[in-house]
Structure 1
Amino acid sequence: MIVDPWIWVGAFILLAYTVEAITGFGSLIIALSLGALLLPLSQLIPVMIALNVLMSGYMAWRNRRHIHWPTLLKLILPLMLAGTLAGYLMRPWLGDQLLKAAFGILVLWFSTRELWRMYHKHTVHPHPPMLSRVLTFGAGITHGLFASGGALLVYAMAGTPLNKSHLRATLLSTWFSLNTCLCVIFLLDGTLIPSLPRVVSFMPLLVIGALLGEFLHHRLNEHRFRVFLYSLLVISGTLLLGKALVDM
């Protein structure tokens, strides 16, 4: 490529954190699904995780009064931590192309499900407790594999009695906790230190994205914006899966 792919990744990070500020979700899955079209996930994940620790830590601190500690400490974190460790240990066995294909399938599942739900105005019903636990553990595995456990965890928490503020603050605390643990693992396996210069260079984009998203939050039709966003993810997931299958 004529243009350094990391320049494009910077643009994707700006888009991802602008979207996060507008809608309250999606920074990792957007940045990774677009960035993985250009670079291996193994290069992207340490950078994205470190950036997310900064953003989720700040947001979790701001919303700390709304954290529902019983749900966080007794349900989410034990299962997510176990699943994240299992997913991390599975990564070397899968290889980058299979990992990329699996991530493409996850992105497609998430985006098409959300489009279907919006189109049909689907009402969310609570899952049985055991199914919620299984899905939460599965979310941990996907987080350990490709740092994107949010889609499955939100699905696992469907119908939860927590109100919107409590759920958001609890999930932010989850990402901060899990991604801090992953940063420690990346430090130990030697992948974090080489990524730090890029993390530092991309940090201003978090601030710009947050400010831009805050500016746009009340000026965009959120429903139409979400349709556009999920459609973009459908295209991205399809391209990612197709590229991975061709390269295998």
Structure 2
Amino acid sequence: MAAMAAILLMAYLVRGITGFGSGLISVPLLALFLPLQFVVPLILLLDFTASILIGGLHFKRVQWDEIGILIPFGIVGVVLGTSLLVKLPTEPMLLALAAFILVFAVRSMLNLHGDKPASRGWAIPASLTGGTVGALFGTGGPPYVMYLTHRIRDKSDLRATFSALFFTEGLTRIVSFLVAGLLMTAKVWTAYLTALPLVLGALYMGGRVHVGQAQMARLVGVLLLASSVSLLFKALHA
């Protein structure tokens, strides 16, 4: 319980600062000692709540024209990812998650971010990948983040758009998880209600913290690298 609380506090502090990243940090760390079929639905509910709070506070800044093109293909990805989460065994999923997290750990630590605007055509692979990985691992933010950061330059608009997108995609995942039975357990809802006050406090504190973008990227990168290596070790020795 203490480890779970510390992980959630850290993950949603980052979410409060940047507008994203909670699932990317919390899921691989929680998966070290909890099953993915429990962790992913729990983080989905917490992220959905966070998206309502953060997105609602900056509703007028949301770039709806950018979100509109992402939603249809994201829904297709969510359906595919939910099916894989239900059917695949644990070890291959942990290996895939470790590899996925490692890519973004290196990217964050080296601060590899291009400056060229992205074409609208990249919305299709970004949303398909984001929806699939989001449903499968609860960490579908990076493909969306990479696409939108090359489309929206204003940080406040970008942060609000992230939350609105994650709200919409989260609602789709909730419906998909309900159909698949992943949200029909008392343990998930009990953990959600227990963790909610901690998460709300972390979001509030994160919203009042001002950290340089490069510093935050490197910090997140270190956390992701550690979680990736740990997940790889767990998968190989399961």
Give TM-score scaled by structure 1 length: 0.86
Provide closer, same or farther for how the CA distance between residues 169 and 22 of structure 1 changes in structure 2, counting only shifts above 3 A.
closer
Percent identity (aligned) = 26
3-state secondary structure, aligned to 1:39? coil
3-state SS in 2 of match to 1:117:
coil
User: For 1:59-78, what aligned pairs fall within 5 Å after superposition?
Assistant: 59-73=54-68, 75-78=69-72
Matched, 1:30 2:21: no
SS of structure 1 residue aligned to 2:178: helix
CA offsets per residue over residues 148-186 of structure 1, 9 Å max, x none? 111111123342155333332222111111212222333
Contact 2:32 2:230 in 1 (8 A): yes
The 5 Å alignment of 1:27-176 reads 27-73=22-68, 75-117=69-111, 122-161=113-152, 163-176=154-167
- Is 2:46–2:192's contact at 8 Å kept on the other side of the alignment? yes
Q: Does 1:208 align with 2:201?
A: yes
AA matched with 2:88: L
In structure 2, runs of 5+ residues without a counterpart are: none
Two-structure CA RMSD over aligned residues (Å): 2.0
The verdict on how the C-alpha distance between 1:115 and 1:92 changes in structure 2, with shifts beyond 3 A counting, is same
Find the aligned partners of 1:212 and 1:70 in 2 and give their Cα distance: 30
* Cα distance, 1:55 vs structure 2: 1.0
Aligned partners of 2:20 and 2:162 also within 8 Å? no
Q: Distance in 2 between matches of 1:222 and 1:241?
A: 28
Moved more, 235-244 or 197-206: 235-244
Q: Are 1:88 and 1:145, in contact at CA under 8 Å, matched by a contact in 2?
A: yes
Shift of 1:32: 0.7
Aligned 8 A contact 2:111 2:218 in 1 = no
Conserved? CA contact 1:125–1:158, under 8 Å: no
Contact 1:136 1:156 in 2 (8 A): no
TM-score by length of 2: 0.89
Partner of 2:179: 188
Displacement of 1:124 in angstroms is 2.5
Whether the 8 Å CA contact 2:13–2:206 is kept in 1: the answer is yes
Aligned residue for 2:151, secondary structure, equals coil
Runs of 4+ off more than 6 Å? none
- In 1, Cα distance between the equivalents of 2:122 and 2:132? 15
Gapped runs of 5+ residues in structure 1?
Answer: 1-5
- 1:83-106 Cα distance to aligned partner (Å, 9 max, x none): 111111122343211111111111
2:32 aligned counterpart, secondary structure: coil
Alpha-carbon separation, structure 2, partners of 1:95 and 1:132: 30
Number of equivalent positions: 236
CA distance change for structure 1 residues 29 and 15 in 2, over 3 Å: closer, same or farther?
A: same
